[in-house]
Homo-oligomer: A and B are copies of this chain.
Amino acid sequence: MIGTTMRIHWLFAALLVPGMALAAEGMWTLDNLPKAKMQAEYGFTPSEGWIKRTMLGSARIAGGCSASFVSKDGLVMTNHHCASECLDQMSTAKKNLIKDGFLAKGREQELICPEIELNRLEQITDVTTEVKNATAGLDGAAFKNAQNAVKAKLTSACVGNDKETVRCDVVDLYHGGLYQVYKYHRFQDTRLVWAPEKAAAFFGGDPDNFNFPRYDLDITLLRAYEGGKPAKIENYFPFSKSGAQEGEMVFVTGQPGSTQRQLTVSQLTTLRDLTLVNNLIRLAEMRGVLEQYSKNSPEAARNAEHALFGVENAYKAFRGRLSALQDPALMKQKQDEETALRQFVAKQPALQAKVGGAWDAIAAAQQAYRQIEAPYGLIEGGRGFSSKYSSYARALVRGAEERAKPSGERLPEYADAKLPELEQELFSTAPVYPEYEKVMLSLSLTKLREMLGTDDPFVKQVLGKQSPEQLSDALIDHTKLGDPAVRKALWQGGKEAILKSDDPFIKQELALDPAARAIRARYEKEVDSVQQKNSELIAQARFAEQGTSAYPDATFTLRLSYGEVKGWQEGDKKIPPFTTIGGAFERDTGADPFALPASWHAAKSKLNLAQRYNLATTNDIIGGNSGSPMINRNGEIVGLIFDGNIHSLGGAFWFDPRDNRSIAVHSGAILETLGKVYGGADLVKEIQAH
């Protein structure tokens, strides 16, 4: 990589090096777009109206994806892999919506997704002063408690009495540089309208995941409802059938989940040596178990499918991130940037006195983290208890305990503003598969024993004289937490109902919760609060050096990226930015995951094989951006983001404009196939009615 990654330097370098791409780096908050830079590079300055329409047309799936409104009647576009949990939950042993796809013939056939919450950002309010004042002079648990309290207060005030339709989150930008309240419109009634077969949506499967050229119809259409009727949407994105041309400026508006571009070198080292390696090893074993379990029967495969996709997707992403962090060039650059910022600080005695110790404090927190990484992840993080029942029991037991307190004194995930999303999940009618859960729970209990040791007191408390398999069977054979009515009764019954329950998962959670809270408290005191407090100081130093001309690390909040349609050079090979529908037929081998579904073969003669199918652009995106609309200057949809190329995986840590590419479904291919393969003429009409 040439030059440095500091965005402002990038731009400078880019303008000096002839033939080098203009930098598309940046996941910009909508209240701080780099308008001058956009104008200089592409001759386009977004108007306030353009920005507002873009914000209101964008949506977030609270569980971890992006989406957009695409009709006045609440039609919502996202990725198939973002809605696949709903498809999975609405499937049965006899009707597999993942395999067969789904099309509602009329709105009365649209299926309620039990766990999808949609959010639409409506307002951003700065609360930096309030948050920082609340924690001033505090450390450790006191710092953490004060921050929780002020966040709960701010979000409750923002929500007011409209908790059904309003959601507010305190957002931490620039690692404590700014705190803002993001106010969303909340939609909890979201229904399934159309999804293609997985064989089309995820053609190429794991082997082609994060690859390009690509041939995926990774789309699902949902519809937002309010009051039992399709939501009326004023701001939605019209569709461009022709899409965007090579070199054309395009925008991605969505929620990148998390980047680590502003972490310290010691934090990156922890990620490289500890977090990523341990996660990869954990995921690899889980992958093996799920792959083999899936071979037991089609029903076993169906039950494990959603988890296996998640595991393989995360595995590949983490692999890419580990490679990036193992690249000596990356670490050298991070070290150089850190040294430069520390030198900048050291030259100003007042700043040095305040901020100078922050890097070493964070490095010390890494050492503390290494000591507790295993028990923290296993016991408090739940990795030792991987089952839906355990998650329900945790929410019920802690929820009962926490809701008895004022909102500001609770663990933050049980603050008033968080309860609607939690209740949606807890009361979900989605099925739970006991045999599958036994596999996952016994595996995770085995890892608990392996990583903490047979003679660890907590392990002994959990297992007693039982093996992980015996305990899993005993718990799952006797629990009633698979029944949403039972969960609802326990939730509503509060602490009394919990203490009286004889459900084995509730009893286990009650017995183990003190140990889990203890390791969490230690983590928050020795690691989390130290990182938070000192990151705020480093952010101050950055602001002193750069102002807010830089963008903040991704935080699963709305961001705009601008870039252009563009391929890249892969060694000797030029990768063009478009694939075609015909190319999908050429790649079809007939063997999963390279087998196009029967519907495609049946429709082949009607299809325009030259229609552009997937495209690559220079937009700067990351996981969480899945489902983001790609729009042009006119605010028309030209694509649907669903992936990045393999080089984009290093984007967690830096952005390389030479080969980091986002990947989208072409808007024209959506209309072409929805109409000709799937018989969705009415939907095509609805999308095009504007």
Contacts and interface: CB of A to CB of B under 8 A. Distances in A.
A326 interface: yes
A590 B288 contact: no
A281 B318 CA distance: 12
A591 B450 contact: no
B288 A465 contact: no
B293 A207 contact: no
A92 to B, nearest CB: 24
A544 B211 CA distance: 53
Interface in A248-283: 273-274, 277, 280-282
Q: Which residue among A204, A207, A288 has the maximum number of chain B CB atoms within 10 Å of its CB?
A: A288
Contact of A292 (B206, B208, B284, B292): B292
A546 interface: no
Nearest to A439: B292
Contacts of A293: 292
Contact of A465 (B282, B470, B590): B590
Contacts of A450: 206-207
A465 B285 contact: no
A158 interface: no
B292 A466 contact: no
Interface in A108-127: none
A608 interface: no
Interface in A281-327: 281-282, 284-293, 296, 322, 326
A343 interface: no
Interface residues of A, number: 39
Contact of A204 (B296, B454, B591): B454
B465 A591 contact: yes
Contacts of A277: 277, 280, 322
B591 A467 contact: yes
A589 interface: yes
A449 interface: yes
A277 B275 CA distance: 12
A483 interface: no
A592 B322 contact: no
B207 A273 contact: no
Contacts of A589: 465-467
Contacts of A290: 288
Contacts of A590: 465
A605 to B, nearest CB: 23
Contacts of A208: 454
A546 B282 CA distance: 44
A620 B204 CA distance: 51
Contacts of A592: 467
Interface in A189-243: 204, 206-208, 211
A624 B389 CA distance: 44
B281 A292 contact: no
A470 B591 contact: yes
Interface string A418-462: 000000000000000000000100010000011001100000000
Nearest to A589: B465
